[in-house]
Amino acid sequence: MAAQGLKDFAGSKSPKFGHFIVEFATPGIGHILKSAGCDFVLFDLEHSGFGFETVKSAVRYFEAADLPVIIRAPSKEYHHIARAMDMGAEGLMLPMVGSVAEARHILNSVKYTPEGGRGVALQVSHDRYRPGAVAEKFAAANRRSTLFCQIETAEGVKNADAIAALPGVDCLWVGHFDLSVALGVPGEFSSKKFTDATRRVAAAAARHGKSLGRLVPTVQQGIEYYDKGFDFICYSGDVWILHDALAEAIGKLRQGCVPKKATRKR
């Protein structure tokens, strides 16, 4: 486990910078992100098509690089939540958390007794295959597990304060695209509806001393959101970084490599 893990990060409002992985689950990805300066990685199962066999391998890649990983589960179903935890997820993100009842169900699925009802699997991926006393294993897993609730519906915004108040919820994460759609302003992130909703979520996190996060497409937007109280700043994703960097370079090559006119021999 990383010397400073996600639970430690969530207990501080200092900025944490990460990257979103939705395509490239390669053996070197953890070391590449660590070398680039990332503090954490968000590994997606909601939209990527990755399965749990991939998660089991990818978590080992991130552990090897000493890089804390948040797994975004594909749903709030118990078997998705518990399986991600069993595969070794240090952090778990759940999409579209709308109510206290949903957040409590998630916590019950993440935590071992006496804090929850997660099914027992010991000396497997999540505890590095090490033996040990059962009670100590439960306590260590419960301390380590870090919960990120995505607020991306109108219901979630309405209940953000009550969700943030729950012990065990470590971070509220604004899912900006889905939230804009839910509010009837798709992609209009400067609209009053969206900015008011974001402020309400930020206030809820601040009131209860919880972290606040979101994905940002640009460096400037990351700085702006940090000034608004966001401390988990996830900068772009693997697909878009590669695409944009390659498109820029290829475009410049096309501009600079102008075909020379052939000279006619006399």
**For every one of its 266 residues, what pLDDT tens digit does the chain have, with 9 covering 90 and above?**
335 799 999 999 999 999 999 999 999 999 999 999 999 999 999 999 999 999 999 999 999 999 999 999 999 999 999 999 999 999 999 999 999 999 999 999 999 999 999 999 999 989 888 999 999 999 999 999 999 999 999 999 999 999 999 999 999 999 999 999 999 999 999 999 999 999 999 999 999 999 999 999 999 999 999 999 999 999 999 999 999 999 999 999 999 998 887 666 65
Task: Give the C-alpha separation, 138 to 249, whole Å.
Answer: 51
Q: What are the residue boundaries of the structural domains of the chain, listed by start?
A: 6-256
Q: In which region does residue 234 sit, left (phi positive, over 0), alpha (psi from -120 to 50) or beta (all else)?
A: beta
* CB within 8 Å of 242: residues ≥ 6 apart: 24
d(CA 150, CA 214): 9
For residue 219, with 0-12 CB atoms within 10 Å meaning exposed, 13-18 middle and 19 or more buried, which class applies? exposed
DSSP state of 69: E
- One-letter amino acid at 203 equals A
- CATH of the domain spanning 6-256, picked from 3.20.20.60, 3.90.45.10, 1.10.357.10, 3.30.70.141: 3.20.20.60
Instruction: Determine how β-strand 91-94 pairs with β-strand 211-216.
Output: unpaired
Quote the pLDDT of residue 60.
96
Per-residue pLDDT, 260: 82
**Stated pTM of the model:** 0.93
Note the pLDDT of residue 248.
97
